[in-house]
Amino acid sequence: MANQISPEEVAKRLQNSEEVFIIDVRENGEVASGKIASANNIPLGQLALRKGELDKEKSYVVVCQSGNRSKAACGILEALGFKVEDMIGGMNNWNGNIE
């Protein structure tokens, strides 16, 4: 079970210029309405196919719209050997900047 992280904690890390690697697992159409600036968009259905784009040395924060898909994505990524944190409540709870 992935660790959970609050949207506020993610925002705080970004404000502190910490290295935060965010994977947004929403579909392209959803991301078009705005995403966290540094997020890498990899839709949930493409995660296993695109795992080569990720680095097992890094820890990733996984984001979706409401928190359901990010939970599933964390399960997939953990099974593939990646370190992940699940952002609680997804973009619905995000009050930080979006692009």
- Residue 1, pLDDT > 80, answer no
Burial class (CB in 10 A: 0-12, 13-18, 19+), 64: buried
Question: Residue 37: CB partners within 8 Å, gap ≥ 6?
Answer: 14, 97, 98, 99
- Identify whether the C-beta of residue 58 lies closer than 8 Å to the C-beta of residue 83: yes
Catalytic residue among 2, 25, 64, 74: 64
Confidence of residue 2 (pLDDT cuts 50, 70, 90): confident
pTM of the model: 0.95
Active site residue 74: no
Confidence of residue 88 (pLDDT cuts 50, 70, 90): very high
Confidence of residue 46 (pLDDT cuts 50, 70, 90): very high
Mean pLDDT on 49-59: 97
Alpha carbons within 13 A on the beta-carbon side of 86: 20
- For residue 75, give the H/E element and its range: helix 68-79
Neighbours of 86 (CB within 10 A): 24
